[in-house]
Amino acid sequence: MLFRSVAAALACEECRLEIRGGDELFDAAGAAVFIRAAGNSSGGVARNEIRIARTVALGKGCFLKVADSRHVDVIWSGGRCGLSESFLVAEGGVANAEPAPAISLSLADAVFACQGGFARLLDSPARPALPELHVVADACRFAVADRA
């Protein structure tokens, strides 16, 4: 895992990231970035921002895991991402959480090849509230396996 956060910003420019995988779905080792929820001092939910430019991310696992529902903004420009799992795996949150969790992806001029599908939003009886997912892609190419 490259980065673990409860509220912060991350920027990578012209980097090469190798993801080596993990044993469990929400094992932090299986992702380049792992974000777990924590309220901020004003009682709200803190935001995380991830900026990636001209970067290559390859390996076994996913790029971003979001646990406990968060507000996350990802801005990816240029480069490529080739993974054995999904680009994004997000776990649901508790019912009626305020403010509602959201994940925003702004993608440009990049290639994403994800064998597990591009994004997976997971709910359960204990965590039924899926985050809103907003994706804008400009001049991107996507490849996913048939099983996704």
pLDDT in tens, 107-119: 999 999 999 999 9
pTM: 0.84
The pLDDT score that the predictor gives to residue 58 is 94
**pLDDT averaged over the chain?**
83
- List, edge to edge, every strand of the sheet that includes 31-36: 3-5, 31-36, 62-67, 88-91, 119-122
Q: What stretches in the chain show pLDDT beneath 70?
A: 1-7, 22-29, 37-46, 69-70, 147-148
